[in-house]
Structure 1
Amino acid sequence: MQHLVFVYGTLRQGESNHSFLSQAQFLGQHETPPEYALYDLGAYPAVVTGHQVIIGEVYLIDQDILKSLDELEDVPVEYRRELIETPYGRAWIYLYQDASQLDVLISSGNWCQRV
């Protein structure tokens, strides 16, 4: 079974966990509607519901990659998956579950341009 996934942090091109997507097909860039907020947790980001556009990439993945991503993202403990609309179809996005841990907002919505 194939899936689409929207990635916004360490899974993006040039970032530390991009190797998880080495067998995935890159479909393109995507900006979400202003319905989220991107936070810096140090080594990785967190996205929660908010009023910000999030910039990321969409990939076509198989069930094995999805399972690996779920393990990386510690689903359902640290993150949960939800489907969002993209120009390529409905894609999974990983949303952070503990908003009380969030205090460093990345106002650009772009993990790759954080300071």
Structure 2
Amino acid sequence: MFVYGTLRTGQSNHSFLGKASKLGACQLVSGYSLFNLGCYPGAKKSISSHTPLYGEVYDVDSNTMALLDQLEEYPELYTRELVDTEFGVAWIYLYCLSVIDLPLIHSGDWCRK
């Protein structure tokens, strides 16, 4: 699982990852934009974005995945898709509502917004 927001180390929802193994810090080189939704971020696919999306990759089991799906309100608020990372293929949650008028996080890093 590639996480980029409140599930990252030191963030408010990190405990939802339980005993998942952290494989390491990672960045998706381009193709995503990160928006500030208030208390949490949302990433959207963006062909025009060349800013890296920063996050961490975890090895999660099916029980943890089910818990994360509830937290992320999948599939109503976020969808999931597979992405290639330096640790292998991982799921990422992508925000599926409109981001019109929402602030863009130019750094691509929720922890350095």
Shared fold, TM over 0.5: yes
Structure 1 residue 102: Cα displacement: 5.2
Residue aligning to 1:17: 13
Residue aligning to 1:41: 37
Residues 25/102 of structure 1: CA separation in 2 closer, same or farther (3 Å cut) = farther
Secondary structure of the residue aligned to 1:46 is: strand
Can you list the C-alpha shifts for 1:42-66, whole angstroms capped at 9, x where unaligned?
1100000121310000000100000
Structure 1 residue 103: Cα displacement: 1.5
Residues 101/79 of structure 1: CA separation in 2 closer, same or farther (3 Å cut) = farther
Residue aligning to 2:95: 96
Q: Give the percent of matched residue pairs that are identical in Structure 1 and Structure 2.
A: 46
Count residues in correspondence. 110
1:6-85 aligned at under 5 Å gives the runs 6-50=2-46, 51=49, 52-85=51-84
Distance between the aligned counterparts of 1:75 and 1:110, measured in 2?
22
Unaligned 5+ residue runs, structure 2?
none
Q: Is the 8 A contact 2:36 2:104 kept in 1?
A: yes
Runs of 4 or more consecutive aligned structure 1 residues displaced over 6 Å after TM superposition:
none
- TM-score scaled to structure 2, two decimals? 0.93
CA RMSD of superposed structures (Å): 1.0
